[in-house]
Amino acid sequence: MTDDDRSLSNRARKRIVDGGVRRLLNTPGWNPFKAAVQPADASTKVADALHVQRLQNAGEAAAICAECAARRLASGDSTDLCPRHLAQAMGIG
Ligand SMILES: [Zn+2]
């Protein structure tokens, strides 16, 4: 076996291992690191749903909020929110 052959087979083996690891990492809910760096598709959808829900909640609350109404009147922007409802819409309220 020459050095070239060995490095080639090492590379081939590494590729197989990498593929297996990648598959494992892509298994939903398996990789504890992935979520922190880049949310998996499933959790992204959940986050999106929660975000939409939050926006709807904030929107409904803002619809009856005098401060939001005053902000909209002042800015002319019909989507304007008071700081409290803006924070709620962003999920930090
Ligand atoms: Zn408001």
One-character DSSP codes across 9-65: HHHHHHHHHHHHHHHHHTSTTT-TTHHHHS--HHHHHHHHHHHHHHHHHHHHHHHT-
pTM of this prediction exceeds 0.85: no
- Express each pLDDT in 35-88 by its tens digit: 555 556 778 888 888 888 888 888 788 788 999 999 999 999 988 889 998 898
Task: Say if residue 28 is in the same domain as residue 46.
Answer: no
* Domain with 20 in it: 1-38
Residue 13 has pLDDT above 90, yes or no: no
86 CA distance to ligand 1 middle (Å): 7
Do 34 and 55 fall within a single domain? no
Verify that 31 and 51 share a domain, yes or no. Answer: no
- What is the CA(81)–ligand 1 centre distance, in A? 5
> Is there a single domain that holds both residue 34 and residue 45?
no
- Residues 68, 90, single domain; the answer is yes
Determine the distance separating the centroid of ligand 1 and the alpha carbon of 53, expressed in angstroms.
Answer: 16
Same domain, yes or no, for 22 and 51? Answer: no
Residues 31 and 46 in one domain: no
Higher pLDDT, 67 or 8: 67
More confident residue, 30 or 16: 16
